[in-house]
A and B are shown apart, each in its own frame.
Chain A
Amino acid sequence: MNPAATPARRSIHPPSAPASPFPYNPGSLLSASDLGLDEISHILTRAAALENQDPLTRARILAKRRVALLFYESSTRTRTSFELAAKALGADTTLVSSLSSSIEKGETLKDTGLTLRALGAEAIILRHNSSGAAWLLEAETRLPVLNAGDGMHEHPTQALLDLRTILAHLRQGVEKMTAETLAGVTVSIVGDILHSRVARSNMLLLPRLGAQVILCGPKELLPEIAAHAGPGISIERNFEAALRQSQAVMMLRIQAERLAGLQLDLEQYKANYQLTGQRLASQAPEAIVLHPGPIIRGLEVTAGVADGVQSVILDQVRNGVAIRMAVVERALLKGHQEGGRA
């Protein structure tokens, strides 16, 4: 053997990774990338129809069907809107949260999921602090699982309600999606991208409709590799430069609970990345301002911007109920009609 020899490039063909078996259940919504353009259009169309439907008629759609909300993390908007959405369709909902259940006693996600299924749950809406938890729950229960946020990974219904909000303001609420629907629209996502499931779902969803996504933030919260997460994504460290190109600006909270020892200079952060009235007026006077909440006023946005005329933050919350009605309906009708794969 001659270790000094330079390794020659051989033509080697190693085994490729297997195709994903997910989702097992056609009613599941695990990732924003699970949805084709037709399905996105369908969800948007149903969201509008359900929103405008007579509440008594609407309440018959899923009358007495059982939907479980399984929440391992605190939540205001997502939990309430999922619950209101399911109830608006007539479903019975039950909330299991990690602090008031056997999860505290060490029950695993698998056992909790199987227990809910045995109790008659026909779909589970899961919020969990571990990335990938929704995939685990779906594989173990084979029920329709709606991912309401898994760790730092995805939050697909948030991306859908953000999309609906953007469409309402920039595309007259069009519901039929094509690969060009958002052509010419640039959306900047600003702040703590690294720890954000909202950012990941949006950066996977919006470019498929033709939007350009600019990620903006400091290196500690936005690694270079983020630009490789998919097509149509670029990184711009300069907030003003990002704002100037944007028709929509999505501001994110710094996720103090996920920083894992990372030290940030908050004053420096605010100096560079806080969305102030002055910045907005000078760089993006026409853009809409989104925020998935919870907002930390005075950190990522000033109170003036949060409450200002360009803010569509409360539209997002309202759209959340409509989108989640459509997604819960899809979960139970599609999941039931086609059945889960064994």
Chain B
Amino acid sequence: MAIDVLGAPIKRTEDPRFITGKGRYLDDIKLTGMVHMAILRSPYAHANIRSVDTAAAKAMPGVLAVFTGADIPYNPLPMAWPAGGSSGIQNNINMPRVLATDSVKWTGEGVAAVVAETPEQAVDALEAISVDWEPLPAVVDAEKATQPGAPQLHENAPNNVVFTWTVGDKAGTDAAIESAEVVVRQRIVNQRLIPNPMEVRGDIGWYNPGTDEYTIWMSSQTPHIMRLLLTAFVTGIPEHKVRCIAPDVGGAFGTKIFCYADMALVMFASKAIGGRPVKWVESRRENYQSTTHGRDHITYLEIAGNRDGEIAGLRVKTYANLGGRLSTIGAGVPTTLYGRVLAGCYKFPNVFAEVTGVYTNTTFVDAYRGAGRPEATYVVERAMDLFADEIGMDPAAIRRKNFLPTDAFPYDNPSGLGTAVNGEKIFIDSGNYEPALNKALTMVNYYELDKAKKEARRRGKYLGVGLSSYIEVCGVAPSKWIGAVGEGWGAAMWESANLKVHLTGKVILTMGTSPQGQGHETTYAQIISHELGLPMEDIIVQHSDTQGTPFGYGSYGSRTAAVGGAAAIKAAGKVRDKAKRYAAHMLEASVDDIEVDGASFRVKGSPDKVKTLQEIAFALDLGFSLPEGMEPYLDETAYHDTPNCTWPFGTHIALVEVDEATGKVDLVKYVAVDDVGKKINPMIVDGQLHGGIVQGVGQALWEGALYGDDGQLLSGSMLDYALPRASWLPNLELDETVTPSPVNPLGVKGVGEAGAIASTAAVSNAVIDALSPLGIRHLDMPYTPQTVWRAIQAATSKGGSA
């Protein structure tokens, strides 16, 4: 019998190809006759297009075709998740067209496209296209965009408002705040981020004139959904005539969930030039301008409670910047994925949030690692520290006091945060928050830090400690719930798996999920190895091709293990059941007498009467001898609709030192105690946590997309947008508690986003704690030296005591 690898930290089977340059990413694909596309992007953030002259470009060497918006007969891209879903709230929707026709709403919106024999010729020809622009005033700040007199982007969106969405109990929260002993108010900004996967986006479109069918290779997290959206909503091409393939994908962080104009454009272009494959790969600069951004909230928070530290209510008003037009689920992120987790891991009896989605002359904003939940965690965890500071309570103590107790689960926030308009609810599945907090406190020697703070002062530094006791929601989602809260095209969020045991006993698992480097080929094989008692090397995992995998929603929202994993287990169970029935046939025994032990199927009490799964597969797949009514082949498909979401949690603690002379912040220690339920592969879990933590730290200390008032992206390249580097971080010290999720057979909760959700608030709270001797109670991120230095100057000139 194979060694049980479920839960083992085995090395990823993907890694040999990824780390030796043998991965096959989009740009590695070179097809016979392939040509290249480049997209002309708007240099203005807001302008009308009077005319576009492509004559000179068409005459350039190697140019096969030049397209403008007027040439493309397709619909605008679809909005798949309007705010509020079926609750019927007004959404003033404006979606991008495949190429802009009358106007552009952000710097980088596509205006024209060139197809040429080489990438160089395509890029050169872009310079020969002349556009007659009528520049218009721009607005980039979401709050300002809603004020009277702001430039207006869309006729159907007065004051640039996309929607105003609310969640929670307004009357209860208003009353709780009005009658509270202490109320703390703060405006906080969760700045815009540029996601930066290592591999940028790209597509290859190929129209086959012989079959009238299309194939699109795309760097995507969601090839099945892309086929649906591109056919049914954008192009009108029948769904069964399109095949979408995601090859190896080099990171995504959410940006590759969505339906982009370029996907439809390569389809159109390939057909227009007679069926040669058309490749488009964005440059990093294009990625910064025209692939989705993340975050960008301005929030007014009010937290109320008593002087003992009991929180009575949280009221939040948020302006969510969604960009110049909407991305695929742009409206869903700051609503469902944000507002519904605003109670964090606390027993807040009253919560109310109002979110205004806003158009500005910026790149569209959509899900970025955590998608709404980092923004919510930042609000809640900053609010807890602000409140603790106000009443003079220790940040660890106030968290402990307000944690949901262990007997609260499954938990439904009384303000109705988990309730959809149709009454369907999601519950917090399981939790035990104090042990993670206690472990983390011990790891940083929390109650002995005053000495270290004094020692730092002697070196001209301020030492600060920051906590983040986070919760997040993963494993989205029960279909009847997600359908009600938003998925506009009525799609559900189940997952699928197909498992085939071939004649030779080798196993192919095909999944509806679609990895971007997470190691799914390893973890799914670990699951199947465990379920069927087969060695890992006998199992391969296939995915990410609409031809040959069952329909699935893809990989995002930390849902693959919780929902996809459950589908894989279901498929394995079906295989085992059929094998058992066939073993009974082979062994001339009753099915009830067959005992399964890994890959061995035995007759009870007759240990020598045994068949292996390989023997069963061989005979069953040949089908020479089949019992009445049994179909040949060991081939089973399962679909799994999760009964509930999963809710990982934990406490992260950051220690920072601030240089009083320059304002430079150094992260000197970082501990994370995460509870992600059971683990399929702890090494992969640690890797996910490392990456997520660093991304979250990046937001706190370095990253920020910066626009000029004219809508130019000033942080337009990696020379101006600061990504974290390994040498800037201390060793990340990880520990765990394990509270299995009861909602899936693996007991997993999900880990893809946890690090990024927790770490921003931990570092932010640490920086504010460091500066608190100066009387500073809040600063907006990122804590660049200049920002911190200015705050120190302002505080010391006011006479704060250093």
A binds B: no
- A residues at B contact (CB < 8 Å): none
